[in-house]
Amino acid sequence: MTGGGLILVVEDSEEDTEAIQRALSRSHPFLDLEFAPRSEDVLPRLLDPAARTPDLLLLDLNMPGMDGLTLLSSLRAHTACASLTVVVFTSSTASAEEDACYAAGADSYIYKPVNFELFQTVLQGAMDFWLPRAADGAVTAAPPAAPPA
């Protein structure tokens, strides 16, 4: 028993994968991270009844092959994945892409900062907000972390 949740990270960039791993190991060392470098592998993984269900999916948009938006639409088309929390974590700042992600069913759209400290702060805030916490037997979400002054 790890005592933490499972985050499925859909990310093809080795640099971003390493940064996500470093950032979350510092802010949320109790989390289990699973990485999927290809979008095509995610839906079969999520529909596998023997596989552990992630608490949150962290999704990059700009992926080779099937892009993140197409994956998001595919996930939301399956009732088994409809309630999965999906946080888009991307380098794209295009408002049209953000709108398309929300229309496709994203729970959140977050821009990947280049600066590692800000990258870590943004990820920490997303995890604190979206991961449910057990408090007195009730599941609640923590408020987002305040950015450093």
Tens digit of each residue's pLDDT (9 = 90 or more) over 31-56:
999 999 999 999 999 999 999 999 99
Query: pLDDT value at position 92?
Result: 85
Please, what is the average pLDDT of the chain? 86
Residue 125: C-alpha distances to residues 12, 42, 50, 62 (Å)? 23, 24, 31, 22
pLDDT 10s digits, 8-22: 999 999 999 999 999
pLDDT of residue 4: 74
- The pLDDT of residue 33: 96
pTM for this predicted structure: 0.84
Q: Are 104 and 76 in contact (CB under 8 A)?
A: yes
pLDDT tens digits along 63-75: 999 999 999 999 9
Residues 143/128, Cβ–Cβ less than 8 Å: yes
pLDDT at 132: 65
